[in-house]
Amino acid sequence: MKGEAELIGDSLLLRRMIAGDEEAFTVLYRRRHPSIYRFALHMSGNVAVAEDVTQEVFMTLIRDAKRFDPERGTLGGFLFGIARNHLRRRWEQERHSLPLPADADELDSLLSASAGPGKNGLSNGNGNGRGPFLLSRDEYTSLETVGRVRHAVATLPANYREVVILCELEEMSYEDAASALDCPVGTVRSRLHRARALLVEKLHDSQPVRRASAVGE
């Protein structure tokens, strides 16, 4: 059975939290933290960093909740904005130019498994043409494809990656994403279009190895 706090909006929960209501904070955290965690995970490609960033975002909320202005956007957008700033600060400190893909071990094992002969080596059928990078429904849902897509997202430039994560993976509207990223809606849209084009390129580029292995069979 849901508690009363779980049915009320973010703004009211936030006000209660500021007044010292621990339950309100817990509900708010449980409601909002998964998307922040996933955003940090996709952006950093590192589970430990994602945990740290999630913790820092909500620490900031606990200590300085009055910074949130509902007239400037949603609480979700505000939290993504904090997460983004924490990530950027972290990269500046650690000079991470290119983050590791998420769950590197999992991804490496998937890629090496797929590179082996006879292992799920699918061809697009036209040999040299550039057909769709995904062929069958099985391939859409395979772990390998998920790993490839995750890798492709993780290797996008940061400003493209964040719009893909927010607008595609977290299904945020352009307006909310613009609020979180502190940029115009048009910028979000154009970055997303460019990012999607880059992703298609990357996913096409990740096919030749498999095609070669299929040919060598």
Partner 1 sequence: MKEEADFMDCVEFKEIYHDLDRPGTEAFRFRERALAHAESCACCGSLLTDGEALDFALGNLSQHNAGREAPPRVEAALLREFQALKAARSRRRVREQIASLGVAAAILLAIGLGVQHRITSRASVGVESAKLMPDSSAVPAENGAATSQQDEDEYAAEFVPVPYADDPAALEGGAIVRVTLPRSALPSFGLPITESDGSDSVFADLVVSEDGTPQAIRLVSDADPNLNF
Q: Which amino acid is at 66?
A: K
Does 25 sit near partner 1 (CB under 8 A)? yes
Shortest gap between Cβ of 35 and partner 1 (angstroms)?
9
DSSP letters along 165-211, please?
A: IIIIIS---HHHHHHHHTS-HHHHHHHHHHHHHHHHHHHHHTSHHHH
Q: Please tell me the distance from the alpha carbon of residue 153 to that of residue 147, in angstroms, as a whole number.
A: 10
Contact 195, 154 (CB under 8 A): no
Question: Which of 31, 38, 96, 211: binder of partner 1 (CB under 8 A)?
Answer: 38
123 to 152: interface string for partner 1, x by CB under 8 A: -------x-xxx-----xx-x-xx--xx--
50 or 181: whose CB is closer to partner 1?
A: 50
Contact 52, 58 (CB under 8 A): no
Question: Which of 6, 51, 94, 138: binder of partner 1 (CB under 8 A)?
Answer: 51
Instruction: Count the neighbouring beta carbons within 10 Å of the beta carbon of residue 11.
Output: 12
Q: Which 104-123 positions form the footprint of partner 1 (CB under 8 A)? A: none
Shortest gap between Cβ of 84 and partner 1 (angstroms)?
17
109 or 141: whose CB is closer to partner 1?
A: 141
Span from 28-36, 91-99, 119-127, 207-215 in contact with partner 1 (CB under 8 A): 28-36
- Close Cβ partners of 7 (under 8 Å, ≥ 6 residues apart): none
Q: Please tell me the distance from the alpha carbon of residue 150 to that of residue 140, in angstroms, as a whole number.
A: 13
Phi, psi values for residue 130, rounded to 5°:
-110, 85
Does 63 sit near partner 1 (CB under 8 A)? yes
Shortest gap between Cβ of 40 and partner 1 (angstroms)?
9
Question: Which of 15, 31, 96, 189: binder of partner 1 (CB under 8 A)?
Answer: 189
Number of residues that bind partner 1 (CB under 8 A): 46
Q: Please tell me the distance from the alpha carbon of residue 142 to that of residue 147, in angstroms, as a whole number.
A: 9
Does 85 sit near partner 1 (CB under 8 A)? no
